[in-house]
Amino acid sequence: MTTFRRLTGRVLTALGTLAFVLVLNFVIFRAMGDPKHDLARNPHLTEAAQTALIQQRGLDQSEWVQFTRYLRDTLTGDLGTSFITNRPVAEELLKALPNTLIVAGLATVLASLLGPWIGLLAAWKRGRTRDTMLTQGSVVLYSMPSFWLGMVLIAVFAQWWQLLPTGLAATPGSTATGWAHAQDVARHAVLPVATLTLGLLAQYAVNMRSAVVDTMREDYVLTARAIGLAPRKVRGRHIVRNAMLPVVTVIGLNLGFVLGGAITVEALFSWPGLGLLTMEAINGKDYPMLQGLFLLSSALVIAMNLATDLLYSRLDPRIRK
């Protein structure tokens, strides 16, 4: 019953946070400006077309009517129509989401495997040459802006060695299908994935090293060593398991943000995912698209936070009590 109550509490908290995001999502974009005035600036719309769009989207109604309509439509999966493409926002998001999942998913998996491992190697030999090299290298990568790191990779691997394409998700004009198309997409994804992976990897390595060093000073670790437990068992049973707790939190939160759209990376490589869609919506003041992106990103962060919270209790049984 205790486990069920804890799980129910976590889920209700997540749902409450999502409800707050729904309200904030409506208010914040109305505070940025009046959508009717932005429609009036569109040179491609006649006055009659502007009036029709305003009536169709309910922008001529009161704020309360717009809010209730917004809640009703959102709960039924209708996120509005894009001001730029004049297509449903939900369709645009579903079209861009798989591309973001390819880049963000691969980057997260690689960084989650390599980052903590590098941090553990550095902490286990702390103060030595390996620790200095790994830690300093991670700090340098961690401090690099993602767009700058991406430009370096483009200069080296796309311009200098000409091994990889500079951007897009596939070769323009390509008619390849099946395995050939998958290979083409994979080649285009290498640099965006590498850029995100290196930044996340460095962060996880630094966090893991710090957590391992702190854990190695705990009394239970000193006791395990004093009773003659093998170093490998001490590391596996007592150090890594406890040191992973803060790293798991960072990974879980980062996953939600990265899936929400790595704006600078996708914009740099013209990768047609949520990040590039966000940049285009900001430049075009596409309020319905921005609302949909903000809601999706927030929902992903909340979901990942909930999953991390539940995983925490699996890693550390003390949290269950």
Q: In this structure, are 161 and 219 located in the same domain?
A: yes
- Asked whether residue 125 is assigned to any structural domain, the reply reads yes
308: containing domain: 93-320
Whether residue 114 is predicted with pLDDT greater than 90 in this model: the reply is yes
Q: What is the pLDDT of residue 37?
A: 64
Q: Name which of 115-129, 178-192, 231-245 the model is least confident about.
A: 231-245
Q: What is the pLDDT of residue 321?
A: 58
Q: What is the pLDDT of residue 85?
A: 83
Q: What is the pLDDT of residue 38?
A: 62
Q: In this structure, are 306 and 207 located in the same domain?
A: yes
Q: What is the pLDDT of residue 209?
A: 92
Q: In this structure, are 15 and 151 located in the same domain?
A: no
Q: Which residue has the higher pLDDT, 197 or 258?
A: 197
Q: How many CB atoms lie within 10 A of CB 240?
A: 19
Q: In this structure, are 214 and 121 located in the same domain?
A: yes
Give me the number of domains the chain comprises.
2
Q: In this structure, are 232 and 106 located in the same domain?
A: yes
Q: In this structure, are 235 and 104 located in the same domain?
A: yes
Q: In this structure, are 115 and 190 located in the same domain?
A: yes
Q: What is the pLDDT of residue 251?
A: 85
User: Which amino acid would we find at residue 312?
Assistant: Y
Q: What is the pLDDT of residue 52?
A: 73
In whole angstroms, what is the distance from residue 129 CA to residue 132 CA? 5
In whole angstroms, what is the distance from residue 215 CA to residue 219 CA? 9
Question: Which CATH number does the domain housing residue 98 bear?
Answer: 1.10.3720.10
Whether residue 204 is predicted with pLDDT greater than 90 in this model: the reply is yes
- Which pLDDT band holds residue 152 (cuts at 50, 70, 90)? very high
Whether residue 174 is predicted with pLDDT greater than 60 in this model: the reply is yes
Q: What is the pLDDT of residue 156?
A: 93
Q: What is the pLDDT of residue 119?
A: 92
Q: What is the pLDDT of residue 39?
A: 61
In whole angstroms, what is the distance from residue 202 CA to residue 311 CA? 23
- Asked whether residue 14 is assigned to any structural domain, the reply reads yes
Q: In this structure, are 191 and 289 located in the same domain?
A: yes
For residue range 44-90, what is the model confidence (pLDDT) as tens digits?
Answer: 566 676 677 677 767 777 778 888 888 888 888 888 888 788 888 99
- Asked whether residue 88 is assigned to any structural domain, the reply reads no
Lookup: tokens for 156: 């080296």
In order of 18, 60, 62, 66, the CA distances from 55 in angstroms are: 29, 6, 12, 11
Q: In this structure, are 14 and 150 located in the same domain?
A: no
Q: What is the pLDDT of residue 133?
A: 92
For residue range 213-254, what is the model confidence (pLDDT) as tens digits?
Answer: 888 888 888 888 888 888 778 887 778 888 888 888 888 878
The DSSP secondary-structure symbol of 318 reads G
Whether residue 138 is predicted with pLDDT greater than 60 in this model: the reply is yes
In whole angstroms, what is the distance from residue 172 CA to residue 69 CA? 41
In order of 17, 67, 261, 293, 295, the CA distances from 20 in angstroms are: 5, 13, 21, 16, 11
Q: What is the pLDDT of residue 131?
A: 87
* Mean pLDDT, the chain, whole residue set: 83
- Which pLDDT band holds residue 146 (cuts at 50, 70, 90)? confident
- Asked whether residue 33 is assigned to any structural domain, the reply reads yes
Q: In this structure, are 232 and 135 located in the same domain?
A: yes
- Which pLDDT band holds residue 36 (cuts at 50, 70, 90)? low
Q: Which residue has the higher pLDDT, 166 or 34?
A: 166
For residue range 88-105, what is the model confidence (pLDDT) as tens digits?
Answer: 899 999 999 888 888 988
- Which pLDDT band holds residue 33 (cuts at 50, 70, 90)? low
Q: In this structure, are 57 and 205 located in the same domain?
A: no
